[in-house]
Amino acid sequence: MKTAAIIGGGVIGGGWAARFLLNGWNVRVFDPDPEAERKISEVLYNARRSLPGLGNVALPAEGQLSYHDTIAGAVKDAEWIQESVPERLDLKQKVYGELQAHCAPDAVIGSSTSGFKPSQLQEGREAPGQIVVTHPFNPVYLLPLVELVTTAANPAGVIERAREIISGLGMYPLHLKKEIDAHVADRFLEAVWREALWLVRDGIATTEEIDNAIRYGFGIRWAQMGLFDTYRVAGGEAGMKHFMAQFGPCLSWPWTKLMDVPEFNDELVDLIAGQSDAQSGHLPIRKMEQIRDDNLVGMMRALGNNDWGAGALQNAHDKGREGEAGLVRSVADLADLSQPVLTQCRTVPLDWTDYNGHMTESRYLDAFAQSTDRLMMIIGCDAEYIANGGSYFTAETHIRHIDEVHAGDPIQVRTRVIMGAGKKMHLWHEMYSGERLLATGEHMLLHVDLATRRSAPPAPHIEANLLKLAEAHSALPAPEGLGRAIGAPR
């Protein structure tokens, strides 16, 4: 199993530990803070309740987490080392000296620094090519962006390995080949932060009003399209040139004070702290983190439904993990035709629960519908087939709710083909959490011609695959509840 070492277990280091651990890596932590283990365990609690439900394919089994008294002990056998110590250049360079004295020569050393350039971190080191900037965003276990900043000292192999490992965690490595103080993203954040300080200081807006301007307006827009694509769309049919011609003159207008920084004195600190307390001081920090995580999961899952932005990245990550989870994409890939087909392997997301605290009834149907879609793809009724005018419509559904399941619980759906001759496809789904049967779904579907929206025979290869599965599954004992009408005794 792969091993990562985390040097510094604060908010960012703890987030990195969670991201690696929940993606199946062993994680070794060094942090002299006596409270490090408690703090990381709290971050891990939040990560475990949110990250698994972000994707539609179950994460691998967690790696092993261990804490070490020395850097030497932490970096032993580590192929990735993430440094997240405080933002002091002298401290970071001292840490790198000790890291390189004990780590493997082919280990990649990434720094979470939000401001220092990689050349500053590499200065004076015997093996500067090992060190890169890998600047993440909080919470690291959910947000996918990592600013990967390198120099000419970094060999191509180190850069490619860093990209592969970051991508393997479901994250997006934004490779900056030209270094600059504060990289790219933090320069945007710093500009907005400075303007916000002025707006508060001058009494234009409170901290809550400024946050509302972001979260109810351009923040959502930026999240799904970024800056330039947003402005391109704003230019209408004429595009970006029209937008630039229309709004370019604004750059010379005194709309901001970005080049004029307010004095960062106690009065300003007290003003902002007081307003922030009034805004959300009634909520514990951990509760605010959980609310934040719930919102982020919901937004990114929504983006995934449209295969857009961070959601598209997650979809690609899920697709790459299907084989590991036991999911297949064709009848030819099935190892044993005589057994029910695994059509879903996932974790119950946070937004699938209701006021009773368990999975809401609509999501049982949603899960079974996704399993039907997977079965359709397996028999060849895939996106290309549907685009050419053939598909299946559901004619009747009967779901039995047998046991409850909660957010964060793993679930699997296994599907049997009861009948597949002619226009009909009769499916039987069983949903499990471990060995516990949660629900069954019986579905009758009809093949249709999408041009006429009427039932029609499927393509020969579709029917052949269905018949092959139906014949193999017919040797299994009839499932309990098959053909049952609602309210009828078992």
Q: Is 276 found in the same domain as 144?
A: no
- Binding site as annotated, residues: 8-13
Q: Is 193 found in the same domain as 169?
A: no
* End residue of a domain, out of 135, 164, 183: 183
Q: Is 350 found in the same domain as 469?
A: yes
* End residue of a domain, out of 165, 183, 201: 183
Answer whether residue 133 is part of any domain.
Answer: yes
Answer whether residue 292 is part of any domain.
Answer: no
Count of domains observed in the chain: 3
Answer whether residue 315 is part of any domain.
Answer: no
**Domain that residue 258 falls in:** 186-282
The pLDDT of residue 251: 64
Q: Is 154 found in the same domain as 47?
A: yes
Answer whether residue 271 is part of any domain.
Answer: yes
- Residue length of the chain: 490
The pLDDT of residue 246: 75
- Binding site as annotated, residues for NAD(+): 8-13
- List the pLDDT tens digit at each of the 490 positions of the chain: 899 999 999 999 999 999 999 999 999 999 999 999 999 999 999 999 999 999 999 999 999 999 999 999 999 999 999 999 999 999 999 999 999 999 999 999 999 999 999 999 999 998 999 999 999 999 999 999 999 999 999 999 999 999 999 999 999 999 999 999 999 999 989 999 999 999 999 999 999 999 999 988 888 888 888 888 887 877 777 777 777 777 767 766 777 777 777 787 889 888 888 888 888 888 888 888 989 898 889 999 999 999 988 999 999 999 999 999 999 999 999 999 999 999 999 999 988 999 999 999 999 999 999 999 999 999 999 999 999 999 999 999 999 999 999 999 999 999 999 999 999 999 999 999 999 999 999 999 999 999 999 999 999 999 999 999 999 999 999 999 999 888 766 5
Q: Is 369 found in the same domain as 268?
A: no
Q: Is 47 found in the same domain as 142?
A: yes
Strands 390-401 and 410-419: unpaired
Q: What is the CATH number of the domain that holds 116?
A: 3.40.50.720
Q: What is the CATH number of the domain that holds 199?
A: 1.10.1040.10
Answer whether residue 321 is part of any domain.
Answer: no
Q: Is 201 found in the same domain as 147?
A: no
* Residues 334 and 349: beta-carbon distance below 8 Å: no
Q: Is 437 found in the same domain as 331?
A: yes
The pLDDT of residue 371: 98
* End residue of a domain, out of 143, 162, 183: 183
Answer whether residue 110 is part of any domain.
Answer: yes
Answer whether residue 408 is part of any domain.
Answer: yes
Taking the chain, what is the end-to-end CA distance rounded to the nearest angstrom? 48
The pLDDT of residue 454: 97
Answer whether residue 483 is part of any domain.
Answer: no
The pLDDT of residue 490: 56
Q: Is 360 found in the same domain as 262?
A: no
Q: Is 45 found in the same domain as 144?
A: yes
Q: Is 73 found in the same domain as 18?
A: yes
Q: Is 217 found in the same domain as 120?
A: no
Q: What is the CATH number of the domain that holds 352?
A: 3.10.129.10
The pLDDT of residue 342: 98
